[in-house]
Each structure stands twice: as C-alpha cells, then as structure tokens.
Amino acid sequence: MFKNLNPGALGFRAPFPETVELAKAGDFQGIDLDPLEMKGVLETKSADEIKSFIKGKGLKWGGWGLPVNFRGDGKTFRESLRGLPGLAETAHELGCLRVFTWIMPFSDDMPFEENFAFHADRLGSVAEILDDHQCVLGLEFVGPKTSRVNHKYEFIHDMEGMLRLRDAIETRNVGLLLDCWHWYTSHGTLDQIEGLKGRDVVYVHVNDAPLGIPIDDQIDNVRRLSGETGVIDIVGLLKALKQIDYDGPVTPEPFEKKLKELPIKEAVRKAGKALANVWRSAAL
C-alpha cells in the first residue's frame, strides 16, 4: 500500500507538475493520473521521460477516474465510450492501470434487478475495453442510508452487493473501490475485508466521520480528515488491507469544508499529516 494524493478528492484542481510537487510537500508516495491531460503532455515528452520523472521524484501512479457516462441514455453512453480506448492506451503506456468509478445507490426509474442488469451490461462493455489495455476497474458502493431515502428503488449500497455485480461482469478485471466512509455507513465489518483477496480491491479512499451522529444519519458530504475523530476504524481497515496483501493506493477523500478554505499546499500537508498518523498507528 502507498499514500496517494488526488487534489480533486481534497476539493482542489492542480495540473500534473504542481500535483507532483504537492505530493512531495505532503509526504505522499503516489499521485493519480488524468489521462486526457497526459495525452497533451505526451505531445512534447515521451512516456519513458514521464515515467522517469515520476520515479525520480520518488512517486508512483495511483489510478484514474473512469471518463465514461455509463448512467445516461444509450447514445450518450456510446459516444463517451468511444474515447475510452485511446485514454486507456495512454494510461497503459504510462503504467497507470487502476481505474475507478462509483455506483448510485438508487434509481427512480428501474427496479433493482433491471438496474443490476443495466449496470452489468454497461460496465461489462467498459471492463472489456480496459482489459484490452491491461487496466482494472474498481467499483465504489455508496453506503449512507441518507443517500437513498426518498428515492423509488434502492440499489447496491454495500460490499456484498458490489461483489455480486463484480461477479456478473464476464471479464475478470473488476474489483472494489473501497471507501472507508461507505464501508462504515453500510455497517461493514473488518471480517468482510479480511475475507477478501488483495486483488479484489483496486483502490482505497480514507476519511473519518463526525462525532455524535448515528450511522444511518450520516450525510455523505460531511466528513472529517483521516483519524480526526476515531469514529471510523481506519487503523483496523488498514491492518486488514495489509493482511490480504492489498498493494495499491490509499487516498484521502475527506470532503472537509474547512480544508477547502486553506491554500492548496497547506491543505495537502494537513491531509498528508492526518494520513501519516493513521499509517503509523497501523504499523505500515
């Protein structure tokens, strides 16, 4: 496992060169990739030059967000899918093979099984293209009960359901994006994680939850920095991931309003320090 920075997960935007320097300032060991941005960089630098630059900074690639609108109508989906092979080829050329996206925990249009088949079909098409470029896809479930109330049909919102969807996709390059927030709010357990294999987990998010709020009342975009409150057992989660030999990125995603009000370098350093504290507590 390695400590990974995605400025967007902290509420900021930063181009590739700045992200590299921010990662060093925050004591991170990896950064996420924007394949569209890197296609532009590759017009003036070779893939080997970029990889050498990253390695020289003591960093490695984390992952990249799936740039496909698989939730919309068929025409929109097909059009957005058309650009995926080129971006996946760019990511493969640079050696960043982990891709991730999230799944809405409800639908106002489709009952569960119809929605399940819809996602298996759409994401199966995505996974097939990614597999052609040796990339793996991590699917994130959204756990809070508050995220699916007042909607007509519930959909996948826990690890068990997401693993069922994973198994329904015929390619074998699909796993979990495991966010400790969604694991906690779905009433997840350490036994669940310990029952996985390292390859089942593609990508990890960490954060903490506010004090004094029942699990089922937690609001998705109101979080805390890793280890800030101790509500979520991040140390236990990290130890469990180590036990199953997970070797990928661990990225802070606190959705902390106060953090976004800071200068970007200060925010990155604060997030990095919080992650380093739980890292040490987990003896990593």
Q: How far is CA 114 from the centre of its chain?
A: 26
How would residue 235 be classed by pLDDT, with cut points 50, 70 and 90?
very high
C-alpha 220/C-alpha 157 separation (Å) is: 13
Q: What is residue 23's predicted lDDT score, i.e. its pLDDT?
A: 98
- Mean pLDDT for the stretch of residues 184-209: 98
C-alpha 159/C-alpha 64 separation (Å) is: 21
Q: What is residue 37's predicted lDDT score, i.e. its pLDDT?
A: 96
User: Percent of the chain scored above 70 by pLDDT?
Assistant: 100
Name the token pair of 278.
Answer: 């739980």
Looking at domain 2-281, its CATH superfamily turns out to be Divalent-metal-dependent TIM barrel enzymes (3.20.20.150)
Kindly report the number of other CB atoms within 10 A of residue 79's CB atom. Answer: 13
Q: What is residue 126's predicted lDDT score, i.e. its pLDDT?
A: 98
Assign 3-class secondary structure to the chain.
Answer: CEEEECHHHHCCCCCHHHHHHHHHHCCCCEECCCHHHHHHHCCCCCHHHHHHHHHHCCCEECCEECCCCCCCCHHHHHHHHHCHHHHHHHHHHHCCCEEEEECCCEECCCCHHHHHHHHHHHHHHHHHHHHHCCCEEEEECCCCHHHCCCCCEECCCCHHHHHHHHHHCCCCCEEEEEEHHHHHHCCCCHHHHHCCCHHHEEEEEECECCCCCCHHHCCCCCCECCCCCCCCCHHHHHHHHHHCCCCCEEEECCCCHHHHCCCHHHHHHHHHHHHHHHHHHCCC
- Mean pLDDT for the stretch of residues 69-89: 95
pLDDT tens-digit map of 136-193: 999 999 999 999 999 999 999 999 999 999 999 989 999 999 999 999 999 999 999 9
How would residue 88 be classed by pLDDT, with cut points 50, 70 and 90?
very high
Q: What is the mean pLDDT of the chain?
A: 97
Name the token pair of 205.
Answer: 């998010």
C-alpha 78/C-alpha 86 separation (Å) is: 15
Q: How far is CA 257 from the centre of its chain?
A: 20
Q: What is residue 60's predicted lDDT score, i.e. its pLDDT?
A: 97
Q: What is residue 195's predicted lDDT score, i.e. its pLDDT?
A: 97
Q: What is residue 121's predicted lDDT score, i.e. its pLDDT?
A: 97
C-alpha 70/C-alpha 76 separation (Å) is: 8
How would residue 279 be classed by pLDDT, with cut points 50, 70 and 90?
very high
pLDDT tens-digit map of 41-56: 999 999 999 999 999 9
How would residue 19 be classed by pLDDT, with cut points 50, 70 and 90?
very high
Q: How far is CA 240 from the centre of its chain?
A: 18
- Mean pLDDT for the stretch of residues 45-68: 97
In the chain, domain spans = 2-281
Phi, psi of 3, rounded to the nearest 5 degrees: -75, 125
Name the token pair of 210.
Answer: 């506010």
